Structure 1
Amino acid sequence: MDRLHFFTPVRIARGQGYPLEEVDSVSEAMVFLRKWPTGRRGPVYQCAVNCCSAAMSGKMSAEEARKAFVGFARITRLLDDDMALPLGGPSMDNVYALRR
């Protein structure tokens, strides 16, 4: 697997009538971010761009960049509802602990 591919794709839901988009890598996330309207580019957008740029230059992992992109998608309400919860792994321990 390419070092810039995400372990799990980020699913983007633009709304009813639009197909779900899957962003599979740092480079796909950058393409998506570059198309984002200039007037809607705030600090969360800039953080996602900075993290993706850092991953492309080898200063950050693809998964760290993915987390920033997921945060951007969540804030802009583009993150597919199924993506809102983490998938398995060590981070799930915290989710299960909260449910007890």
Structure 2
Amino acid sequence: MDRLHFFSPVRITRGQGHPLEEVDSVAEAMVFLRKWPTGRRGPVYQCALNCCSAALSGQMSPEEARKAFTGFARITRLLDDESAMPMGGESMGHVYALRR
């Protein structure tokens, strides 16, 4: 696995009738962010962009960048609710322990 891939993809939904998108790497998150409308770029967008840039340059882990990108997707209401939940009914503590 590429060192810049996320542990699990961030699932993006643009609403009913649109296909679900999976962003599974820092590079894909950067492409998504660069296409984001200029007029809708606020502090959460900038944080996600900065974190992805830092991950690309090796100053931050891909999972830290994923957290920032997930926060951006959640704030902009693009995050698929099911992707935010742990798989298989596991507790969040168990999921975070696996990521370490």
* Match runs of 1:1-100 below 5 Å: 1-87=1-87, 88=90, 91-92=93-94
2:49 is matched by which residue type in structure 1?
V
Whole-angstrom CA distance in 2 between matches of 1:47 and 1:53: 10
Paired-residue identity, % = 80
> Structure 1's 89 and 6: CA in aligned 2 closer, same or farther, altered over 3 A?
farther
Whole-angstrom CA distance in 2 between matches of 1:41 and 1:92: 34
Structure 1 residues without counterparts, runs of 5 or longer: 94-100
Could you state the TM-score of these two structures normalised by the residue count of structure 1?
0.87
Instruction: Output one character per residue of 1:44-100: Cα deviation in whole Å (capped at 9) or x when no partner.
Output: 00000000000000000000000000000000000001022245476348xxxxxxx
More helix by share: 2
RMSD, matched Cα: 1.9
The runs of at least 4 consecutive aligned structure 1 residues that moved more than 6 Å come to none
Structure 2 residues without counterparts, runs of 5 or longer: 96-100
Could you state the TM-score of these two structures normalised by the residue count of structure 2?
0.87
Whole-angstrom CA distance in 1 between matches of 2:57 and 2:94: 30
